[in-house]
Chains A and B, each alone.
Chain A
């Protein structure tokens, strides 16, 4: 395919796509109970898929056939689950003890409205007000076992121990910004849905909408085993810590920056990205003048951490949309970064062939 043809085929991010992102962001889909997002994905993808199925852990696995002979089998993964809470003890009168599912700093919890269960019943993580706290108490974060989700007595019969809950944030756009909860990784899910709808014709697209990423890359592991792809790309979201530092020193620990384009991974705690795939993304980015950045090598991990170790090894790389305040009640991303992520992944797939992997890693 010629470059201008590729450019003309890149899925657009318009009103419809943002509406879908809104629906995805507002869904309650905490690790282990991803049904709400799964239903949206099934609904969106089914008429475009050559094959679509839900596996034993709840991953949605979509095959989209190529229009060429002997295509490369490329897995693209995005996780459907989000960090959140689980009710663990009913203390009566609508008060519930809860546990955190995935990684949330417990300093983020106090005073936040939440939605509980499939019916999205309202609650709040309450705290002792300032009138009644001592100066000493205010110095320390409140430990999780001193916090409760307070739902009031009105919905007593509708929720129970084991139900999941998330922050009650509703999605909004603020000018160029996308603002909501769970944009990690609903941005990836929304991107992958567009790829299924507008798949490049040169590859066999194996789209994995995975579960249980936030509690240990569990869905991706079995998805990669069963799909058995030749190569894998992971679409995720990574924290931007790009605020100014107040002593006028240079911020050297930004991780990624908003408005600097999709973030390509080299090293995190779970994966050393395949250098051949990094080079391919960089080459395509440069050729198509798509802005991109490198995520600062460091901690963290994506589904690639599980995928690349399956079977005899699967060359893998991750690409993330940067977002400020990940794993809190609100994440802020820029629409331009999402668009450029879409461009980079689409063009990289359209340009992909086995030559990329013909040299040894």
Chain B
């Protein structure tokens, strides 16, 4: 699991440019899939099994894109100005390293601040790739980069960029490997462009037209010094989403997940997230609507270049999802 996560998080794949990460995922799932397709938005859709007696058409979604930056202008001295892809906040940028799709590395610097207590606006920062002119600059307008930090294994706790949402891609990959004799027709969707507005899941949900939608994504925690008030902590199990900023999970789906966790003695937490949302929102309101829910992985420092998760939560998320989709799901 850890080596899979390392491989996934260290691949560059900001929203809209998921080609490389999709190939990494494809190599992992190929052996276990009945059918694999890539749609117009670049979603990797892995089908497994047919609907049997008491089964449903289930879409599971974890997004493979990550937040990043795009070059807007290279000035005459070779400094690259940039805009953000997804929820990149300015205070995580200054001094951060970035890695472009073409392999070029750079560091984010900023203009001199009149007041050093202020944070640079994105417009007041630039990427320094070591160039000194437009001509010798290895990047140009429109080029895309992700934040660059190595994967760190602290034992139970892991740190890296792009844990959001590659850890859940790992959870879905492991779930796909584990699931045997499911009564359901399963679609594992490794979705694109989540960070810019759930765009991949929107079109995948339309095309698949499932009976039930389940996302897997990271959620925040309330377990850090003077952190936000939130009853989710690292290491206490996957979080079964009740509500977030964009979705009220279907109570029947929440119940099914809770009962499944209790039956199989898998630790879990209930999640109420005040901001943010997941692919489950896009699924829930697709076409004529569907029951939807989300199994979340508690994550600290979300949308910084160093996000932290607990390996036990991931293993338990795999157990929960595997158990859930291996049995008939009662949505009555």
Q: A residues within 8 Å of B by Cβ?
A: 250, 252-254, 266-267, 272-275, 278, 294, 296-298, 308-315, 357, 360-361
Query: B199 is contacted by which of A275, A308, A361 (Cβ under 8 Å)?
Result: A308
Is B301's CB within 8 Å of the partner chain A? no
Q: Report the 8 A-B pairs with minimum CB-CB distance, sorted nearest first.
A: A272-B16, A313-B203, A312-B207, A313-B40, A361-B42, A313-B41, A266-B142, A252-B73
* B210 → A minimal CB distance (Å): 13
- Report the separation of the CA atoms of residues A295 and B299 in the bound assembly, to the nearest whole angstrom: 36
Question: Counting CB contacts under 8 A, is B193 at the interface?
Answer: yes
The segment out of B75-83, B177-185, B288-296, B320-328 that lies at the interface is: B75-83
Residues of A within 8 A of B76 (CB): 250
A250 with B75, Cβ < 8 A, contacts A275-B17, A297-B70, A311-B206 known = yes
Residues of B within 8 A of A312 (CB): 39-40, 203-204, 206-207
* Shortest Cβ distance from A361 into B: residue: B42
**B34 contacts chain A at the CB level, 8 A cutoff:** no
Residues of A within 8 A of B17 (CB): 272, 275
Q: How far is the CA of A314 from the CA of B206 in the complex (A)?
A: 12
B305 CB to nearest chain A CB (Å) = 21
7 contacts between A and B (CB under 8 A): A267-B83, A278-B142, A297-B142, A298-B83, A311-B203, A312-B203, A313-B204
Q: Specify the chain A residue showing the minimal Cβ separation from B43.
A: A313
Tell me the complex Cα distance, A267–B141, Å.
11
Question: Can you list, as one digit per residue, whether each of B264-295 has a CB less than 8 Å from chain A (1) or not (0)?
Answer: 00000000000000000000000000000000
Main DSSP-derived SS at the B contact region: mixed
Which of A253, A272, A296 interacts with B141 by CB under 8 Å?
A: A296
Q: B203 to A267, Cβ gap below 8 A?
A: no
Is B30 close to A, CB under 8 A? no
Shortest beta-carbon distance from B22 to chain A in Å: 7
Of all chain B residues, which has the CB nearest A299? B83
Q: How far is the CA of A296 from the CA of B70 in the complex (A)?
A: 10
Distance between A354 CB and nearest chain B CB, rounded to angstroms = 13
Q: Closest residue of chain B to A255, judged by CB?
A: B72
- Contact A267 B22, beta carbon cutoff 8 Å: no
Given contacts A252-B73, A252-B75, A298-B83, contact A360 B196 (CB under 8 A): no
> Are the CB atoms of B207 and A361 closer together than 8 Å?
no
CB-based contact B73/A296 at 8 Å: yes
Contact A296-B38, Cβ < 8 Å, known A253-B123, A272-B196, A360-B22: no
- B85 at the A interface (CB under 8 A): yes
Quick one: which of B31-45 are within 8 Å of A by CB? 38-43
In terms of DSSP, what is the predominant structure of the interface of chain A?
Answer: loop
Contacts of A273 in B (CB 8 A): 16
Given contacts A297-B141, A312-B206, 11 further A-B contacts (CB under 8 A): A252-B81, A253-B72, A272-B17, A272-B196, A296-B83, A297-B70, A298-B83, A308-B41, A312-B207, A313-B39, A313-B43
As a 0/1 sequence over residues 103 to 145 of chain B, the CB contacts with chain A under 8 angstroms (1 = contact) are 0000000000000000000010000000000000000011000
Size bracket, chain B contacts: 20 to 34
A250 to B78 Cα, complex, angstroms: 12
**CB neighbours of A275 from chain B (8 A):** 16-17
For the complex formed, measure the closest distance between the CB of B68 and the CB atoms of chain A, giving whole angstroms: 10
In whole angstroms, what is the CA distance A272 to B197 when docked? 11
Query: Which residues of chain B from 187 to 212 have any CB-CB distance to chain A below 8 Å in the complex?
Result: 193, 196, 199-200, 202-204, 206-207
Residue of B nearest to A297 (CB): B70
**Residue B19 interfacial (CB < 8 Å):** yes
Do the beta carbons of A314 and B40 come within 8 Å of each other? yes
Looking at the assembled complex, report how far the CB atom of A250 sits from the nearest CB atom of chain B, in whole angstroms.
5
Q: Are A361 and B83 in contact (CB under 8 A)?
A: no
Whether the Cβ atoms of A267 and B70 lie closer than 8 Å is yes
Cα distance A131–B204 in the bound complex, in angstroms: 62
Shortest distance between the CB of A83 and any CB in chain B (Å): 24
A313 to B207, CA, bound (A): 8
B125 vs chain A, min Cβ distance (A):
12
CA distance A3 to B253 in the complex (A): 58
| CA gap between A167 and B256 in the complex, in Å | 59
- Complex CA gap A309/B196 in Å reads 12
Of all chain A residues, the one with the shortest Cβ separation from B79 is A252
Complex CA gap A274/B203 in Å reads 14
Kindly provide the distance from the CB of A213 to the nearest chain B CB, expressed in whole angstroms.
18
Q: CB-nearest residue of chain B relative to A273?
A: B16
- Is B316 in the interface zone, CB < 8 Å from A? no
Q: How far is the CB of A302 from chain B (nearest CB, A)?
A: 15
> Is residue B304 contacting chain A, with contact meaning CB distance below 8 A?
no
Is B11 at the interface (CB under 8 A from chain A)? no
| Whole-angstrom CA separation of A41 from B181 in the bound complex | 58
Report B-chain residues with C-beta under 8 Å of the C-beta of A272. 15-17, 85, 193, 196, 199
Q: What's the nearest-Cβ distance from chain B to residue A277, in Å?
A: 11
Residue of chain B at shortest CB distance from A316: B40
CA distance A85 to B204 in the complex (A): 39
